[in-house]
Amino acid sequence: MKKVELKMLFSGLQNQMTAQLSTNREFINHPGSKGDSLENAWIEWLRAYLPNRYSVDKAIVIDYTGQTSQQIDIVIYDNWFTPFIFTQNGFHYIPAEGVYAVFEVKPDFNGSVPMGKGKKNKDFITYAAEKIESVRVLKRTSVDMIASGNTVFARPLTKIVGGILASTNTYKRTGTISKILEKQKGFKSIDFGCAADYGSFFVEYNGSEDLSLSKPKDFEKRITDYYNGRQFVDVSFSKPENSMVTFFMQLSRYLQQAIGTVAAIDLQAYLDKINEKIDDEI
């Protein structure tokens, strides 16, 4: 039986993406167009390699109260158990219950966003953390569902993992990145990220969910306490030549082994806003 050299396959995956991001960064000069091209490159790459059960789009996340997140560069969301996605003028509004992961895309880990006259610029990593927070603070529902003909009780709210993706990194020390990541607390905490030609990283935290909070009315407290209670431990970086593979494997691990399937959405909570009812006895 002929063997396939996995190292060669991984190398091809790495080179394909880094070359595309490098070309976009070097030859597209308009800031808005450059940003769009980088976001689209990451979206297309994730769509190509993630299983079909996951959808990937630029979007705003919305909850049943009508509150919305900031505009998110990349949202990975469920397309099996989330039955409606609002699309208006080509832009997606995704119910918070369906969200698995969110990412901010920047050309470089090192950089800042102008905050307006008289305000201090915000570094890219902190800016990404605030985008992530705007999704995690939204209210989510969870109800019973049918699986294999049997009723499965409402499951606790799943984690929404968050990160930052970039083409490169020009911080001279990884310690600088670690210090910025350590400052992000609670719903702002970042799970992982990737700079294509520099390396991927993941953040290790101490802390776990309170498993005694097992009723639907406790789920929001359970997930809030988890994020507010987890403590930064360390940051681990991959080798530059393995950045894309290690990032993808870490993402896959989060999606399939740490999260699994998102909670079933309470459709009635959304219909309450237009004073309509669902027949729940059929």
pLDDT in tens, 131-168: 999 999 999 999 987 777 788 788 999 999 999 999 99
Instruction: Please state the rounded mean pLDDT for residues 113-141.
Output: 94
What's the burial of 34, exposed, middle or buried (CB within 10 Å: 0-12/13-18/19+)?
A: middle
Q: Give the DSSP H/E element, type plus range, for residue 166.
A: strand 161-168
More reliable by pLDDT, 31 or 158: 158
Q: Strand 192-195 vs strand 161-168: parallel, antiparallel, or unpaired?
A: parallel
Mean pLDDT of the region 102-109 = 96
Judge contact between 41 and 186, C-beta under 8 A.
no
pLDDT above 90: residue 234 = yes
Query: What is the pTM for the complete model shown?
Result: 0.90
CB 173 within 8 A of CB 112: no
